[in-house]
Amino acid sequence: MIGFGAATAIEPAGEGRYETVLDAGYGMAEALNGGYLMAVLGRAAVAASPHAHPVSTAVTFHRVARPGPAEVIVEPRKEGRTAAASRVTLIQDARPAADALITTATLDAAAEPGWTGAEPPGLPRLEECTEFQPPTGDRGFADRVDMRFDRSTMGWLDGRPSGRPEVRAWFRLRDGYQPDAYALALAVDALPPVALNLGAQGWAPTVELTWHMRAVPAQGWLAVHGNGRVLADGWFDEETEVWDSAGRLVAQSRQLARVPRPRR
Amino acid sequence: MIGFGAATAIEPAGEGRYETVLDAGYGMAEALNGGYLMAVLGRAAVAASPHAHPVSTAVTFHRVARPGPAEVIVEPRKEGRTAAASRVTLIQDARPAADALITTATLDAAAEPGWTGAEPPGLPRLEECTEFQPPTGDRGFADRVDMRFDRSTMGWLDGRPSGRPEVRAWFRLRDGYQPDAYALALAVDALPPVALNLGAQGWAPTVELTWHMRAVPAQGWLAVHGNGRVLADGWFDEETEVWDSAGRLVAQSRQLARVPRPRR
């Protein structure tokens, strides 16, 4: 089992191309996790940029990506003093699996927020939270990522969805990899779909996900708060906020996904 | 003065290219409004797609776009039964002014939401709201768009910012153009920057904006609610929710912008 750093590593192959080997450990069933893919895309964007952090990442997922070799293509589109923008594509089997727009900039790790909105209701303490053991025996992701869930948001597991599209969890990587931009990319797409708490069942494919890195995260556990606003016409939205151990809002995301299909 | 429909019209020019003439009326000072540009990009994406609505639009703005001729290039990336994805670029003066990822799908105008979160606190009635007259005499946008602001969110105008990054307003087009996908694109970027209520001043360039169309809007006024979560290290986020006259959440957006520069 290789660590998160190695699993998201990229190798320059010239002219904005980067080679990578996607790791089966970050999958659930056949599909690799979208946050894992965003971490790989983010590394390529930063490698091709003069800046240190992917402050804005918008991704459209076209196809399920599978473990094994893949390529990332970075096309620089604008380079400014403060930020640089690029189009970034994940290619597998000679087809685009995901397209992204990534803006890089360099955040100051010592910057204090000028203003922050209210912290969300606190998560229960770690020891009061529950580990979710995937029922299928499909342990890949759970072997890499240590998540401790607020039980009050996990009623769907026992057939008692809460009726509120909320899921909350503590998050860390099991290999000791500390929070950074790429761990945040993983964290914003690591929760089970909030729509499960509205009675939806099964796999909820993400169509689009945009996330913003708002601060350089401190070491330690991350708190991930997932919410949604509307489920309608086969679509639902899911927002996450990620707070670090120093109590700062370090990442925000919203995704648009398809309502999970009824189980057969 | 031409209407919003004509001002956002595109002309197919072959091979995924569309020509347009950007209208000075949707500018503030030298820069054309980002929402106006998204309306033009959305029309091109839909024209090139088998689907009717731009359900997801993520845009990175590279340069200020100016009134006059421009071109939109649409590259289809994935076409599925439910949705189609494309990369869409606005070109002006032979350079990309904005890059977008747009997913189209066809929303059912009769669909009832399966679940919707709480409606935000109501806006005051129209006649209790205030019209914001741009102080510079730069009337373009205000001549096209009729916005009536909740006075409690406009303290920054008189040098008394509320300290809360909120702006709320009623919204309609003066020419009678009724809400649709393109009017929603305009609405999600029509508010003054919410950071003005945190004491920021001046122009706040949007770096990235993602918006989702969640329902086909009813006729009449739209209510636009703007909020923010963090201002830090020169960056702030701004979220809008747009509610239609039937009380449905029809659009959601988040943008990442630079803190307005101090006035000289």
* pLDDT tens sequence across A123-171: 999 999 999 766 555 668 888 999 999 999 999 988 999 999 999 999 9
Tens digits of per-residue pLDDT, B51-95?
Answer: 999 999 999 999 999 999 999 999 999 999 999 999 999 999 999
A160 vs B: CB within 8 A: no
Chain A residue with the nearest C-alpha to that of B233: A111
Q: Is the pLDDT of residue B134 over 80?
A: no
Specify the amino acid at residue B27: G
Confidence label for B264 from pLDDT (cuts 50, 70 and 90): very low
Spell out the residues 6+ positions from residue A231 whose beta carbon is closer than 8 angstroms to its own: A165, A195, A198, A200, A259, B113, B114, B115, B116
Mean pLDDT, rounded, of chain B: 93
Backbone CA torsion sign across A8, A11, A12, A17: negative
Tens digits of per-residue pLDDT, B28-41?
Answer: 767 899 999 999 99
Q: How far apart are CA A237 and CA B214, in angstroms?
A: 9
Residue A264's pLDDT is: 44
**Contact residues, A window 214-243, toward B, CB-based 8 Å cutoff:** 214-215, 227-235, 237, 241
Spell out the residues 6+ positions from residue A217 whose beta carbon is closer than 8 angstroms to its own: A179, A180, A183, A184, A242, A244, A248, A250, A251
- Counting one residue from chain A and one from chain B, the pairs whose CB atoms sit within 8 A come to 173
Phi, psi of A39, rounded to the nearest 5 degrees = -65, -40
Residue from B194, B214, B231, B252 whose CB has the most chain A CBs within 10 Å, to mutate: B214
Up-side HSE of residue B4: CA atoms within 13 Å toward CB? 29
Give how far B250 is from chain A: nearest CA, Å. Answer: 9
Q: Give chain B positions within 8 Å (CB) of A208.
A: 56, 58, 101, 103, 210, 212
Give how far B80 is from chain A: nearest CA, Å. Answer: 9
> Which residues in chain A show pLDDT less than 70?
1, 29, 133-139, 260-264
Phi, psi of B186, rounded to the nearest 5 degrees = -70, -40
**Contact residues, A window 76-105, toward B, CB-based 8 Å cutoff:** 77-78, 82-83, 85, 87, 96, 99-101, 103, 105
Specify the amino acid at residue A255: Q
Structure tokens at B237: 């986020």
Give how far A147 is from chain B: nearest CA, Å. Answer: 25
Residue from B51, B90, B188, B256 whose CB has the most chain A CBs within 10 Å, to mutate: B256
The share of chain B scoring above pLDDT 90, in percent, equals 85
Residue B240's pLDDT is: 98
Where do the domains of chain B lie, and which CATH numbers do they carry? 4-106+123-258 (2.40.160.210)
Q: Are B87 and B99 in contact (CB under 8 A)?
A: yes
Nearest to B55 among A111, A114, A256 (CB): A256
Alpha carbon B217 to its chain's center = 15
**CB neighbourhood size of B256 (10 A):** 24
- Give B223's strand partners: B170, B243
**Contact residues, B window 27-86, toward A, CB-based 8 Å cutoff:** 55-56, 58-60, 62-63, 77-78, 82-83, 85
Q: Is the pLDDT of residue B219 over 50?
A: yes
Confidence label for B132 from pLDDT (cuts 50, 70 and 90): confident
Q: Which residue has the tokens 């406009």?
A: B154
Q: Which residue has the higher pLDDT, B200 or B185?
A: B185
Query: Looking at the predicted complex, does its ipTM rise above 0.85?
Result: yes
Q: Mean pLDDT over residues B216-242, rounded?
A: 97
Phi, psi of B8, rounded to the nearest 5 degrees = -110, 10
Nearest to B212 among A116, A237, A249 (CB): A237
Task: Name the 3-class secondary structure at B184.
Answer: helix
Q: Which segments within chain B are labelled E, that is strand? A: 11-14, 17-22, 27-28, 31-32, 53-61, 68-79, 83-92, 95-105, 115-116, 145-149, 167-173, 206-213, 222-227, 230-232, 235-243, 249-258
Q: Is the pLDDT of residue B158 over 60?
A: yes
Q: CA-CA-CA-CA torsion for A148, A204, A239, A110, nearest 10 degrees? A: 60
Task: Name the 3-class secondary structure at B137.
Answer: coil
Nearest to B249 among A105, A227, A229 (CB): A229
Q: CA-CA-CA-CA torsion for A103, A107, A112, A118, nearest 10 degrees? A: 30
Structure tokens at A162: 């809460």
